[in-house]
Amino acid sequence: MHTFSTLPIELVYRIMDHQDELTLFYSMQNICRRLNKIRSTYERYRTLTALSLSGRRVSVEGVRRIADTLRTNTTLTALDLYCNRFFAEGAQHIADALRINTTLTTLNLGNNRIGAEGAQHIADALRTNATLTTLDLDGNIFHAEGVQHIANALRTNTTLTTLNLEWNGMGDEGARQIADALRTNTTLTTLSLGDNRIGAEGVQLIADALRRNASVNMV
């Protein structure tokens, strides 16, 4: 009986020809070492630069496998994980991968309920990751506490240019944290803060920060 450990490479390639990108990218990860090696030479995998898994109900275990792949993958530049609800634990797996991955530039983690704990995991990764330029964290309900973690990372991160923080309920306190970060961050150019229950005080704080920040051109 043949397994992936013994099947001829040509036959393994033929099996891969019939798999979708989700299966190819992470379901076939770590089945056996030989399959990992064969997959790394497979044309569709080697040329995969963008992967959209929006609303695919990817579990925490699925996110862990994706993160494992990101540690060694050198072709993927855009990953969309919008609306999978993998919470803070899933965010931690992604954050761990971001500390190692050097090719991913666009990441969508919106609407995954990662909370303040998940925001902290991502923020910690942003302190060392030097390739991510676009990050979507909308709808994660991490409030001012989570925004503080992201704002702290923005003070030292020098690669992120686009950040979406909509629908996180940050309020005026979260706006204060972002405003403080904008006084030192010089690389962010696009920042989305809509639907965050920011009142007049928070709006004023952001406006004051933008008078000093010459890089942000849209809020």
Summarize pLDDT for 20-66 with one digit per residue, the tens.
988 888 788 878 889 989 998 999 999 999 999 999 999 999 999 99
In this structure, the answer to whether residues 117 and 171 fall within a common structural domain is: yes
Q: Which two tokens stand for residue 202?
A: 């928070």
Q: Which amino acid is at 205?
A: L
One domain for residues 58 and 126: yes
Work out the average pLDDT over 67-90.
Answer: 96
Residues 186 and 164 in one domain: yes
**What total of structural domains would you count in the chain?**
2
Do 104 and 70 belong to one domain? yes
Task: Report yes or no on 208 lying in a domain.
Answer: yes
Asked whether 158 and 187 are in contact (CB, 8 A), the reply is: yes
Confidence category of residue 89, pLDDT binned at 50, 70, 90 = very high
Last residue of a domain, one of 32, 47, 62: 47
Paired residues of 13 in beta bridges: none
Which residues are 134's β-sheet partners? 106, 162
> What range does the domain containing 177 cover?
49-212
Class of residue 123 by CB neighbours under 10 A (exposed 0-12, middle 13-18, buried 19+): buried
Residues 4 and 29 in one domain: yes
State residue 22's pLDDT score. 83
Residues 145 and 176 reside in one and the same domain = yes
Within a domain: residue 125? yes
Are residues 148 and 85 located together in one domain of the fold? yes
pLDDT in tens, 110-157: 999 999 999 999 999 999 999 999 999 999 999 999 999 999 999 999
